[in-house]
């Protein structure tokens, strides 16, 4: 899968994945969705973002968690 809106620059934000070279980490956008924010609310909070940025951030996060297993608490 190719990501055209996600950038990683070692000299920017410590090399964390960001949206289009902006200083807005993918994790911030995904976290906002996790807090039940609606896309319009996220876009209002970060006016430099575009709707396509939000969905590519989610696709990037989905791909990232497929790459490794995270520790979970047993039920």
The answer, yes or no, to whether residue 62 has pLDDT greater than 80, is: yes
Q: What pLDDT, on a 0 to 100 scale, did the predictor assign at position 74? A: 66
Confidence of residue 70 (pLDDT cuts 50, 70, 90): low
CATH hierarchy code of domain 6-66 = 1.10.10.10
pLDDT, tens digit, 9 for 90 and up, residues 16-59: 999 999 999 999 999 999 999 999 999 999 999 999 999 999 99
Among candidate residues 62, 68, 52, 54, the one with its CA nearest the CA of residue 1: 62
pTM of the model: 0.86
pLDDT, tens digit, 9 for 90 and up, residues 37-49: 999 999 999 999 9
Among candidate residues 19, 12, 21, 15, the one with its CA nearest the CA of residue 61: 19
């Amino acid at each position: 899968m190719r990501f055209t809106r996600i950038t990683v620059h070692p000299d920017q934000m410590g090399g964390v994945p960001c949206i289009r070279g902006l200083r807005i980490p993918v994790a911030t956008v995904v976290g906002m969705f996790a807090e039940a924010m609606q896309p319009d609310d996220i876009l209002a909070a970060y006016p430099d973002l575009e709707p396509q940025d939000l969905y590519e951030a989610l696709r990037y996060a989905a791909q990232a968690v497929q790459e490794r297993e995270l520790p979970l608490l047993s039920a």
